[in-house]
Structure 1
Amino acid sequence: MEEEIKAEFLKIGFTLDDEEEILKKCLTFCQNYSLEPSDLVSSWEVYYLNRQLDESVVKDAEMDGFLGHLQNEQVETAVKKEPGLHMYSFKDVEMILDAGDEDTKEVILGTPTDKSEKLHLDVYDSAHKTNGSIYSSGRISKLVTPFGKRSNKFVVKFNIDNLPTTETVNGIHNHENLEDDIIQRIRPHKSCSLVVHRSGPEPGCWFMYDRIEDRFNALENRIRKHAAALVASRLYEEPMDPSVASQRSIFAIGMICCDGEGHLNDKSILLQSSVEHSGGQHVRLELNKLSHFSVFPGQVVGIKGHNPSGHCLIASELVDSVPLSVAADMNLPRAKKQALDEEIQATNLSCAPTEITMVIAAGPFTTTDNLLFEPLTELLAYATKKCPQLLILLGPFIDSEHPQIKKGTVDLSFDEIFQMEVLRRVQDYLEYMGPDARVVTIPSVRDANHDFVFPQPAFDLDSLNNIHQITSLKNPGIFEADEVKIGCCTVDILKHLSGEEMSRHSMDGTPSDRLSRLASHILSQRSFYPLYPPAEGVPLDLSLAPEALHISSVPDLLILPSDIKYFVKVLSLGGTSEGEEQMKKCVCINPGRLAKGEGGGTFVELKYQGSSDKINASIVGI
């Protein structure tokens, strides 16, 4: 079994540090919890993503934390079988010990503190909380260095440099006395032009009027658009009803659904076709004959296969993306479509590479122990030194999950905190940098001072003095900066897909990059949020503007802030066996969170020069 465990780790691209010791412990885990090697390694992959580990190496030091993760999984499985049952792990023991320490320090009797609530608040914005559960040992809060006690401020944690003449920054930037130094006032060498694609709800819109009819029409339109695009590519035949018994191979298009409330598995995958082709009927989908696949609820796919009994469609091929050569929006008028094609062709013929520099950061922008917004202050000081043309700030700004916001212990309103602590700092930054600096803000559904709905209207910033330098986007939003198309979405779709995806890797030994695969789903489905039903806590309202979630063409940059591990990856889309498709590349960026608990997080500094092959991207720890 140890050899099987080792083979499973190698299959997904992990190496073992202390091989003998790790395999011995993994064997014990399998025996104690009745796990197969494949199940154990799948659990490790989830643990690896949630803990945001730096490299694909299984280390002996992580085995205790991994044990806690396995215990939590066993608890969840047991609780589902017996709702009234509670199983204890060493996380509960630590909570009891923490409670004892607090009791010795407490002098004045007061309202008892809920220690479990305290534990959740300590790690609320980290990757260890997924769908209400914490996949860690509960000790992570003690390992976080408080923000004010950091020894190193700006550390480059990851770097991609494809620019031959670019000076790469390695190691640590010495900005310890940044505020005390005399900073030379260097402004951006040129201002970047911004063009916002206006699609989505407007500020002040009415929401919470979502009807079943609206949801049905939105899902039906997605299936019909995919079907029209696949047929227009001339690579696939006209779709047929997959629920009708047929001995010959057919081609069907539909949406992946789950037969029940749990996660997808081999026995619960359904395919829901359109009303036009099957009256919206479901049919069970069998994928056993496919060597590799990746599916999730809400994904629209094309299936080649046969249905001999009329009850189960046996797939021989799965098509999960729309060909790039086909116009994504098949409902555009012919004149508008022709103008769009001419615009895209003119852009492709432009030989002058577009160069733009930017700093990208996602909230929370303050630590959990206060509302001083120290990480935001240091981010703006860093931007003052680096002088990017564009500063992109993604919510949450006033985080509804912050302990003080959640408990209501602040004296100011949420709007006042946003104005005084966030916008005032941003305005000071712009005044210092001069008229060429630009800032883009995108709200989050976690913003306490904004509408709790998705898609989400932009912030109303008309009252600001330098409004021409601050551009507020909708969530999700698409804009162009010097002809570089950028898409942004602050809802954590990567984390949600990670919890719902069911996949099988090819057996040729090629490592599977799960983060790239999750990000590719967004572009393949041409939707900022292709998951349906949405994850718990996502206020998806399809009556507002379903076109707001639609991605008409692949952007040059795709910014998807997430609680899972930060990354900058170049995604390649398109390409067919016939060679009729060109490859389209997109740089996908997860800047991480600027603040994590009581400590600092990460942000991204990017220089983009015309294409994804000419970038300099650094993930900087603050």
Structure 2
Amino acid sequence: MEDQIRAEFSKRNFVLVEEEEILQKCLTFCINYNLSPSDLVSSWDLYSINRLLEQTVSDAHMDAFRQQLQNEQKQATIEKEQGLHSYTDVTMEINDEHEDAEEVVPSSPTVQNDANLVSFDATPITNGKMHSLGKPLGLVTPFGQRKDKFVVHSTLNNLPTVHDIIMEQGEENSDEDVIKRVQPIKRCSLEIHGSQPAPGCRYMYDRIEDKFDHLENRIMKYSKALVASQLYDELVDPSVASQKTIFAVGMICCEEEGRLKEKPIMLQSSVEHSGGQRVRLELQKLEQFSIFPGQVVGVEGHNPSGHCLIATKIVDHVPLSVPDDDNLRQTKRQAVDQDNQPADPSDISSDLSLIIASGPFTTTDNLFFEPLSDLLAYAQRKQPQLLVLLGPFIDSEHPDIKKGALNKTYDELFRLEILKRLQDYVEYMGPAARVILVPSLRDAHHDHVFPQPAFDINLADINQVQFALSPSVKVGCCSVDVLKQLSIDVVSRGIKNRMNTLTNHLLSQRRHPNFHTRENSFYPLYPPAEDIPVDFSLAPEAFQMPVIPDILITPSDLALFVKVLSLEETSEAKCVCVNPGRLARGEGGGHFVELNFHGSPDSSSASVIRI
């Protein structure tokens, strides 16, 4: 078994520093937790992504890795015996040192040593019934007892803020004075580009023909875009034996059910070129690649036997071109801001301030939605132009909801706890404030289908999968944790920054200037994950990104980040990619992102804030 463990690590390009000690401990883990070598290395793969580790496996991380395995086993046991989900996001830990999650009792709170984890303040009780916070003891939660609020976790291009500028001038002012000096926010105009499922649409009526058409169209559009680029030879059938070097386009597929493995990997070409036949793809000659099932790629190589295509080069993108804004405005769109007159062109600005948060919006020990209330209080002070909230809002994985311990319907809970707070926020902020709500598959009160229709409410400007800001800031978002699903299924070699690569997979397939077809996809995986109910009759238009966004929001359980990605090595086109994390984590607070976009990603600033 040690040889199998060593082979699995080697297959995924991990280097063992203290090989003998690591293999002995990994063997013990496999025996104690009843894991196969493949499952063990998969768990380490996810662990290393969350901790932002390189491809090196060190003995120093084995204890923390063992604790993660213990928590995974504990979680699986709870789900099996009680039918409940223990909502402790073990895989979301950011720091290298891990501590076991323990239940926090309000009367005797625990103190965490890690500065980035939530710590609770042991505030004294004044009279035995009332807490010093002014609340009855029974209503004081561990979240309400925390000591630190709104701690900046990390920053991007830390530009001077209004507060910094005033303090540099030598003036000592309170936060209220600073806010009074800020100019009133300018209302941003919203436009939705492309088509999404309308509220109340029929779904789960897709046919096998819809799935076939969706996959065939993806391959054909990519093939035509590569031919139009004039950088590659004419496409041929990859399943035909040939001693010459050929160039073919197809979709990466698994030969067997389950996760994609480096052997065997199949390439399925289009019906036009090969009748939809599959051929085995050999990648031994490639020093660097990153592929996943459902990815459409171009492959250069040769097939001497007709049974195996030996790849010498993989082309996973079409050369980028800047989208034509004039043509873009002619595409199908929905104007959300119909009540406003067009702005004077001289007043057009590409500056935009956002606050981005992803659910759950309440802690697992109650349904008080305290994290959401604190977030809105922070937004009232900062006064962003746009507040982007991604579900789940009424989390179907919450313990109380799973047990059915409610005296309200899901819709009533959504309107009382979510919409009522947002109405108060909008009334306080005035007509310049904008709110975007994006549903999640975990929303108990909403349609369980992907892509999802928008919420059918009249509170604020709402959009489901993607939205664009006029005049010049383009934003895209999707509430499904596609990064985590990609991290499970991707097979790579020679990749240094894996999080950048995972995010780039959403933006890697682009249009050519002479071929106006866009293949950027919010969900490029096929087959989809087991818990993602994809409706392929709705997917083709909803999954596509009409334009390459300036800001891409991809909430995930993986390590949170805000980073600027170059869409090509030789291109200046860039995109700000944001994973805001979760606003609530277990019984404690999580994170959200404050972003100020100033015309381009390089000149923009952002802060990841722990609530």
Q: Which residue of 1 aligns with 2:91?
A: 127
Aligned with 2:557 (options 554, 563, 566): 563
Asked if residue 471 in structure 1 is aligned to residue 455 in structure 2, the reply is no
How far 1:192 moved relative to its partner? Answer: 1.2
Is residue 25–residue 62 contact of structure 2 (8 Å, CA) maintained in 1? no
d(CA) in 1 for partners of 2:266, 2:61: 38
d(CA) in 1 for partners of 2:487, 2:298: 22
How far 1:13 moved relative to its partner? Answer: 11
Asked if residue 160 in structure 1 is aligned to residue 160 in structure 2, the reply is no
How far 1:481 moved relative to its partner? Answer: 4.8
Asked if residue 518 in structure 1 is aligned to residue 530 in structure 2, the reply is no
How far 1:320 moved relative to its partner? Answer: 0.7
1:65 aligns to what SS in structure 2?
Answer: helix
1:471 aligns to what SS in structure 2?
Answer: coil
How far 1:194 moved relative to its partner? Answer: 1.1
How far 1:473 moved relative to its partner? Answer: 0.5
How far 1:55 moved relative to its partner? Answer: 7.2
Q: 1:386 to 1:209 in 2, by over 3 A?
A: same
Q: Counterpart of 2:101 in structure 1: which amino acid?
A: I
Q: Which residue of 1 aligns with 2:208?
A: 212
Asked if residue 436 in structure 1 is aligned to residue 400 in structure 2, the reply is no
Aligned with 1:583 (options 551, 569, 572): 572
d(CA) in 2 for partners of 1:319, 1:26: 36
Task: Tell me how many residue pairs correspond in the alignment.
Answer: 530
d(CA) in 1 for partners of 2:296, 2:561: 26
Q: Which residue of 2 aligns with 1:140?
A: 101
Asked if residue 552 in structure 1 is aligned to residue 536 in structure 2, the reply is no
Is residue 185–residue 433 contact of structure 1 (8 Å, CA) maintained in 2? no
Q: Deviations over 1:329-367 (max 9, x none)?
A: xxxxxx968968xxxxxxxx9998621111000011011
Asked if residue 367 in structure 1 is aligned to residue 363 in structure 2, the reply is yes
How far 1:27 moved relative to its partner? Answer: 4.9
Is residue 366–residue 373 contact of structure 1 (8 Å, CA) maintained in 2? yes
Q: Which moved more, 1:304-313 or 1:228-237?
A: 228-237
- For structure 1, the 5+ residue unaligned runs are 74-88, 97-112, 130-135, 170-177, 329-334, 341-348, 465-469, 507-511, 577-581
Q: Which residue of 2 aligns with 1:358?
A: 354
Is residue 357–residue 607 contact of structure 1 (8 Å, CA) maintained in 2? yes
Asked if residue 487 in structure 1 is aligned to residue 476 in structure 2, the reply is yes
Is residue 126–residue 563 contact of structure 1 (8 Å, CA) maintained in 2? no
Q: Counterpart of 1:288 in structure 2: which amino acid?
A: Q
Q: Which residue of 1 aligns with 2:589?
A: 600
How far 1:400 moved relative to its partner? Answer: 1.1
d(CA) in 1 for partners of 2:282, 2:58: 37
d(CA) in 2 for partners of 1:185, 1:452: 46
How far 1:238 moved relative to its partner? Answer: 1.8
Q: Which residue of 1 aligns with 2:269?
A: 273
Asked if residue 536 in structure 1 is aligned to residue 525 in structure 2, the reply is no
Q: Counterpart of 1:48 in structure 2: which amino acid?
A: S
2:218 aligns to what SS in structure 1?
Answer: helix
Q: Deviations over 1:478-518 (max 9, x none)?
A: 22254200000001100000110000016xxxxx1111110
d(CA) in 1 for partners of 2:158, 2:92: 33
Q: 1:141 to 1:459 in 2, by over 3 A?
A: farther
Q: Counterpart of 1:205 in structure 2: which amino acid?
A: C
Aligned with 2:242 (options 243, 246, 249): 246
d(CA) in 2 for partners of 1:438, 1:351: 19
Q: Counterpart of 2:242 in structure 1: which amino acid?
A: S
d(CA) in 1 for partners of 2:395, 2:70: 31
Q: Which residue of 2 aligns with 1:380?
A: 376
C-alpha RMSD of the superposition: 4.0
How far 1:552 moved relative to its partner? Answer: 2.9
> TM-score, normalised to structure 2's length?
0.78
Is residue 188–residue 437 contact of structure 1 (8 Å, CA) maintained in 2? no
Q: Counterpart of 2:190 in structure 1: which amino acid?
A: L
2:144 aligns to what SS in structure 1?
Answer: helix
Q: 1:196 to 1:126 in 2, by over 3 A?
A: farther
Is residue 188–residue 434 contact of structure 2 (8 Å, CA) maintained in 1? yes
- For structure 2, the 5+ residue unaligned runs are 104-111, 113-117, 120-141, 166-173, 332-344, 510-519
d(CA) in 2 for partners of 1:270, 1:168: 56
d(CA) in 2 for partners of 1:574, 1:484: 20
Q: Which residue of 2 aligns with 1:499?
A: 488
Q: Counterpart of 1:480 in structure 2: which amino acid?
A: L
d(CA) in 2 for partners of 1:205, 1:436: 31
2:402 aligns to what SS in structure 1?
Answer: helix
Q: 1:43 to 1:114 in 2, by over 3 A?
A: closer
Instruction: Give 1:110-509 correspondences, 5 Å limit.
Output: 117=83, 120-123=85-88, 127=91, 139-142=100-103, 146-161=142-157, 163=159, 188-325=184-321, 354-462=350-458, 464=459, 470-474=460-464, 476-505=465-494
1:490 aligns to what SS in structure 2?
Answer: coil
d(CA) in 2 for partners of 1:286, 1:387: 54
Is residue 361–residue 602 contact of structure 1 (8 Å, CA) maintained in 2? yes
Is residue 187–residue 434 contact of structure 1 (8 Å, CA) maintained in 2? no
How far 1:408 moved relative to its partner? Answer: 1.6
Q: Deviations over 1:542-594 (max 9, x none)?
A: 11241110123211000000111110111111356xxxxx3320010000000
Q: 1:59 to 1:288 in 2, by over 3 A?
A: closer
Is residue 162–residue 178 contact of structure 2 (8 Å, CA) maintained in 1? no
d(CA) in 1 for partners of 2:163, 2:177: 23
1:372 aligns to what SS in structure 2?
Answer: coil
d(CA) in 2 for partners of 1:589, 1:371: 27
Is residue 232–residue 326 contact of structure 1 (8 Å, CA) maintained in 2? no
d(CA) in 2 for partners of 1:36, 1:366: 36
Q: 1:319 to 1:167 in 2, by over 3 A?
A: farther
2:601 aligns to what SS in structure 1?
Answer: coil
Q: Which residue of 2 aligns with 1:618?
A: 607
Q: Counterpart of 2:62 in structure 1: which amino acid?
A: M
Q: 1:37 to 1:460 in 2, by over 3 A?
A: closer
How far 1:67 moved relative to its partner? Answer: 2.3
d(CA) in 2 for partners of 1:381, 1:196: 28
Q: 1:33 to 1:307 in 2, by over 3 A?
A: farther
d(CA) in 1 for partners of 2:303, 2:59: 48
Q: 1:168 to 1:288 in 2, by over 3 A?
A: farther
Q: 1:337 to 1:231 in 2, by over 3 A?
A: farther
Q: Deviations over 1:358-379 (max 9, x none)?
A: 1000011011111111000000
> TM-score, normalised to structure 1's length?
0.76
Q: Deviations over 1:159-180 (max 9, x none)?
A: 11254677679xxxxxxxx999
Q: Which moved more, 1:247-256 or 1:39-48?
A: 39-48
d(CA) in 1 for partners of 2:295, 2:152: 36
d(CA) in 1 for partners of 2:225, 2:548: 15
How far 1:248 moved relative to its partner? Answer: 0.2
Is residue 384–residue 433 contact of structure 2 (8 Å, CA) maintained in 1? yes
How far 1:431 moved relative to its partner? Answer: 0.7
1:140 aligns to what SS in structure 2?
Answer: coil
Q: Deviations over 1:116-145 (max 9, x none)?
A: 545x3232x56379xxxxxx9994354765
Q: 1:181 to 1:611 in 2, by over 3 A?
A: closer
Asked if residue 66 in structure 1 is aligned to residue 65 in structure 2, the reply is yes
How far 1:48 moved relative to its partner? Answer: 3.0
Q: Deviations over 1:63-120 (max 9, x none)?
A: 32312556899xxxxxxxxxxxxxxx7x49x979xxxxxxxxxxxxxxxx976545x3
d(CA) in 1 for partners of 2:419, 2:181: 21
Identity %: 55
Is residue 356–residue 482 contact of structure 1 (8 Å, CA) maintained in 2? no
